[in-house]
Amino acid sequence: MLQSKKVNESLIIMTELVLPHHTNQLGNLLGGQLMHWIDICAALCASKHNQRICVTASVDKIDFHHPIKVGEAVTLSGSVNRVFTTSMEIGVKVYAENFNEGKRVHTNTAYLTFVSVDNEGKPVKAIEAVPESDDEKRRYEEALQRREARLKERIKRG
């Protein structure tokens, strides 16, 4: 089994077309549909990185910056931000693109925690992620800050 992998080796890029059944009465993509796509993208990224099944442990944050309209293409980019012991933070960036207008907009950012598990569903040590670019190193450091905040919040709640 590998001890480490470069962050860019686990990148996942998905594209979905927003159809009418994905939208609300205003023709905007439903938040729940987008969350579903984000979870799939992050799960694929985590599993690709760890070469095993990974399960969602938590969804930290999803920011909605701009509505996504019916007919637009949604591109989701999932990347391992940092690996801890059995868990890892996956970041997903979402872009909406209107091909007719030639316009691409960053619409959402999400942070999810996944756990690497064996065939019985028991947590196992995850493969270390090695950041190389300045952006990967920044995300690596910020993931630790978010993890520490999550753990403090968990302690506060008891």
Query: What is the C-alpha separation between 136 and 130, in angstroms, rounded?
Result: 9
Instruction: Please give the mean pLDDT across all residues of the chain.
Output: 95
- For the chain, the domains span 4-157
Neighbours of 2 (CB within 10 A): 10
Cα–Cα distance, 2 to 88 (Å, whole number): 16
Task: Give residues with Cβ within 8 angstroms of 28, minimum separation 6.
Answer: 67, 68, 69, 70
The pLDDT of residue 67 is above 90: yes
Phi-psi bin for 27: left (phi > 0), alpha (psi -120 to 50), beta?
left
- Is the pLDDT reported for residue 94 higher than 90? yes
84 has pLDDT over 80: yes
Query: CATH for 4-157?
Result: 3.10.129.10
Read off the pLDDT of residues 3-48 as tens digits, 9 standing for 90 and up.
999 999 999 999 999 999 999 999 999 999 999 999 999 999 999 9
Q: Distance between CA 49 and CA 45 in Å, rounded?
A: 6
